[in-house]
Chains A and B, each alone.
Chain A
Amino acid sequence: MSCATNSYVSLPAYKGPFGAAQAERLLWRAGFGPRPGQAKALAKKGVKNAVLSLTRPAGEKLVGPAPTDDKKVPIAPLDARGHELLWWLDRMVRTSAPTPERMTLIWHDWFATSIVGVKSQKLMLDQNQLLRKGGLGSFAELLLNVTKDPAMLLWLSGNKNTRLSPNENYARELMELFTLGAQRGYDESDVREQARALTGWRGYYRQKTGASDFRYEPNLHDTGIKTVFGKKGNFDWQDACRLCLEHPLHPSFFVRRLWSYFIPTAPGKKTQAELEKLYRGKYQVRPVVEAILQHPDLYRGPRMVKPPVVYTAGLLRAMGRGVDSTRWVRLTLTAGQRLFLPPDVSGWDDERWLDTATLRGRWDLVAWALRSVALDEKATGLPSDAFKLLTQAQSFWHVPGLLPGTRKVLLDFGQRSLAAKASPATVLNALRQLIAISPDLQTA
């Protein structure tokens, strides 16, 4: 544990060419895409140091203009609906340390909590800060902190789970979604007994400030003997978490779930076993993330569809634009991922980011991103040449190469439009839009 970098020597690490293309994929998988020039600079470090520079950033700076609404008024994350989302989106766009921020997003999906149940932007942001702070540290610590987090207590009825009327909501999800996986090594009796162990947390409703004053009340805790996973004891909420972590099926769940956020294909048996070994008993997140990010599967395997929020933040990063509109709240919702509003406690479905509705949402996202830089249709000084216009549109998004199929369609579009006397500015506007919606930019 003291020397995390050496502990996964038996894990395969990517040895192939590590150029701007590979560095760009890494920046999308472990962050929110490159800023202009960033992929090239990262490629110079080589894969290992590139990964470590992301997972162990030296401090964090927010680079660029602070977030505002459409009237250039600073956002109010606690007092205006949707501004809590803008606050987070802005961090994704401006951070100099994208991987901790991406981990925060992963934990938000892992411990998916919705403002519909919590009803407080402050409590949602408090939880967000907790996830950010512990995002690359100990999962054991994170789990304890999430278990007693006020937003989570409200969301999964932990604040209603008392000795006299136990509530199984959190106990069930703790095992099913957070640590073990559905029907993996526990049964209904374990759910009931874990619920008893978890009793004692309480939140109070205060006039003026709403739900607040969350604390552990020993007299609400069930002090009887519980039987969990075949073990007997006078377990409390910390034991409930510990028992899950010590369960023989926890490391396999943890590794598979964490892996799935970065790589769309299953890990090989040996890799899975080695990652479990790396994690077991230590519960450290960072070494596992570092091993996954260096794994050959990340660079050689298929592309992944970017989650809508990652896609959005990436468009703004590439454009050098900050968060300057409240429209992103509605647009990210339409694209299928409104932060702080996951569809349910199991989070978003990574297999289903794209359908006819969310694709239309992504189209609108791109249109809105491009709105302020759209060229006047009569703008002059542009080449009447489809190749050159395509090159300009590519350099707008900083994408040097396109998939052959995409390139052919876009050139064909440019040529036919120009032949029909379309203005070059119109064609360029359309090409920017089409490149952003193409599979090239929707996946990485």
Chain B
Amino acid sequence: MNVRRSAPAVALATAVACFVSPASATREIVVPSRVQVVATEFQLALSRRTIKSGRAVVELVNYGEDDHDLRMLRLARGAKMLKIRTVLPGDDAQLRATLAPGKFVLWCSIADHRKLGMEARLTVTKRT
């Protein structure tokens, strides 16, 4: 299913985007923390349970059969909800954010998926 939808992007990427001239200047490299969340029916599996605070990339991969999305909330008063839009089966999407240390809860907000088990915890520890 994802193939058909992502194909235009593929073709454009190979045909057009790669003909943009390369950036030659070297910039300071910031290595973000990364975690991959694999969604299936009805579970979320994390590539690691703990990541460092600061700049982070959270990736949602949908290896299931239904659509899934991701909500992510730090368990603290007034924390802002982080979101990854609906990801089609076979597809993926990334969220770039600056994460404060703490415990986060992650879930899929589609239909009753959270109740069925699509929820997980992530610990963010202070980057030293």
A and B touch in the complex (CB under 8 A): yes
User: Which residues from chain A sit less than 8 Å from chain B, CB to CB?
Assistant: 71-74, 76, 78-81, 116, 119-122, 205, 207-211, 327, 330-331, 334, 364, 367-368, 371-372
CB distance from A376 to the nearest CB of B (A): 10
CB distance from B123 to the nearest CB of A (A): 10
Cβ-closest 9 pairs across A and B: A210-B45, A79-B34, A119-B63, A76-B34, A79-B36, A79-B47, A78-B47, A364-B14, A81-B92
- The answer on a CB contact under 8 Å between A122 and B47 is yes
List residues of chain B with CB within 8 A of the CB of A207. 43, 117, 120
Given known contacts A120-B45, A121-B47, A208-B120, is B14 in contact with A330 (CB within 8 Å)? yes
Chain B stretch 8-46: residues in CB contact (< 8 A) with chain A: 10, 13-14, 18, 22, 26-27, 29-32, 34-36, 38, 40, 43, 45-46
Chain A residue at minimal CB-CB distance from B29: A72
The number of chain B residues with a CB under 8 A from chain A is 30
Other-chain residue from B32, B38, B49, B121 in contact with A120 (beta carbon distance below 8 A): B38
Given known contacts A80-B36, A330-B10, is B49 in contact with A209 (CB within 8 Å)? yes
- The answer on a CB contact under 8 Å between A78 and B48 is yes
List residues of chain B with CB within 8 A of the CB of A74. 31
Q: Does B72 contact A (CB under 8 A)?
A: no
Prevailing SS type, chain A contact patch: mixed
Chain B residue at minimal CB-CB distance from A360: B14
- The answer on a CB contact under 8 Å between B10 and A81 is no
A78-B47, A208-B46 provided; 14 other pairs, C-beta below 8 A? A74-B31, A79-B34, A79-B48, A79-B57, A119-B45, A120-B38, A121-B36, A205-B43, A207-B43, A207-B120, A209-B45, A209-B46, A211-B45, A331-B14
Could you list 21 examples of A-B contacts with CB < 8 Å?
A: A73-B29, A73-B31, A79-B35, A116-B63, A119-B38, A120-B38, A120-B45, A205-B43, A207-B43, A207-B117, A207-B120, A209-B45, A209-B46, A209-B49, A210-B46, A327-B13, A330-B10, A330-B13, A330-B14, A331-B14, A334-B14
- The answer on a CB contact under 8 Å between A71 and B29 is yes
List residues of chain A with CB within 8 A of the CB of B29. 71-73
A72 CA / B25 CA spacing, docked (Å): 11
Q: Does B69 contact A (CB under 8 A)?
A: no
User: Which residues from chain B sit less than 8 Å from chain A, CB to CB?
Assistant: 10, 13-14, 18, 22, 26-27, 29-32, 34-36, 38, 40, 43, 45-49, 57, 59, 61, 63, 92, 117, 120-121
List residues of chain A with CB within 8 A of the CB of B36. 78-81, 121
- The answer on a CB contact under 8 Å between B61 and A81 is yes
A180 CA / B82 CA spacing, docked (Å): 52
A207 CA / B119 CA spacing, docked (Å): 8
CB distance from A416 to the nearest CB of B (A): 24
- The answer on a CB contact under 8 Å between A119 and B18 is no
A375 CA / B29 CA spacing, docked (Å): 27
A76 CA / B46 CA spacing, docked (Å): 14
CB distance from A123 to the nearest CB of B (A): 11
